[in-house]
Amino acid sequence: MSGINAVLSLTRRNILLFYRDKSAVFFSFLGAIIILALYILFLRENYLTGMGSNPGATAVIDGWMMAGVVAVTSVTTAGVFLQCMVRDRSTSITNDFLSSPAKPAVFTAGYILSTFLVSLVMSLSVMVLALIYLFSNGAAIPAGNILLAAGVLFPSVLSASGIMFFLASFIKTEAAYGGFNTVVGTMMGFVTGTYIPVGFLPGSVRAVVGSLPASHAAMILRDLFGGGGIDAMFSGDAVAANVFRDTMGFDLYVGGFQMEPWTGIAVMLISAVAFFALGTCNVRRRRA
């Protein structure tokens, strides 16, 4: 069997196993569901009250939150999906893969590709639901922004798949991975500035958050979903608008430098390649 056929066979096998497990599909949505429920039930009214009578605040704040929900889904879905890899390791199925003539890179590529495809589908699904919510509340998002948001999901999901694969490659049991995944899911709400706006975090924490790929994905999506209404919300007051963008994570800074959208895309792509390589090295080390 050629390397490409091996990758495709492993990818197909992993995807089928995931969708047969209905609980895994549900838990891949759970992080987004929890954040959305917290927002609708508790946070939304507080944020809008704090904005006073600023016109268009509802659309901007809703867009800000929905962007965070979509960005979190990219990571949490990858985390839930990769439980299949940990299960393979705990049941020694991985040893069968590694004893085959296929190179470790084939093994790594099969898991990352299947993780990427499933996470992309789930993230797109959550984005559709988020857009339905936004439109139902009167938001006006240009079609071009929606297409760009869908495009941003590709590097975002690819990066999350590579990072989560690398981290999961160190964990040997499903119980340990379950605890690890719970921690990651909880942290993502803070990392993306969804539970607490980025501007409320200490300076050193903000620098760390600003360097993470998921934070860049959230930044770009926020601007696409709600950034267009910020100037109108502050009636052309550029200073107030910039402070708001900084506080709410529409803009990110690292070491005093503002991160541009293209920088965020580059961070996501570079991290995807780097963690693919690191994951492959870890698999090769275990095979030796």
**28: closest CA among 124, 156, 169, 150?**
124
**Terminal Cα-to-Cα distance of the chain (whole angstroms):** 22
| Residue 195 burial (CB count, 10 A) | 17
Find where tokens 């929900």 sit. Answer: 69
The Cα–Cα gap between 152 and 68 comes to 13
The Cα–Cα gap between 247 and 114 comes to 36
For the ranges 42-46, 146-150, 273-277, which has the lowest average pLDDT?
42-46
CB 222 within 8 A of CB 69: no
Find where tokens 């867009």 sit. Answer: 63
pLDDT band, residue 43 (cuts 50/70/90): confident
Query: Given this model, what pLDDT does residue 123 score?
Result: 93
* Tens-digit pLDDT profile for residues 232-274: 888 778 898 889 899 898 998 887 788 889 999 999 999 999 9
Mean pLDDT of 145-155: 96
Please report, as a single letter, which amino acid is at residue 16: L
The Cα–Cα gap between 13 and 181 comes to 22
What is the token pair recorded at 50? 């704090």
Domain count, the chain: 1
CB 110 within 8 A of CB 16: no
Q: Which helix (H) or strand (E) holds 257?
A: strand 257-259
Alpha helices in 39-103 (DSSP H): 44-51, 57-81, 83-90, 93-98
Query: Given this model, what pLDDT does residue 153 score?
Result: 96
**4: closest CA among 115, 96, 103, 84?**
103
| CA dihedral sign of residues 105, 106, 107, 111 | positive
- Domain containing 104 equals 3-287
Query: Given this model, what pLDDT does residue 223 score?
Result: 93
What is the token pair recorded at 266? 């580059």
Find where tokens 């959550």 sit. Answer: 126
**For 210, which DSSP code?**
H
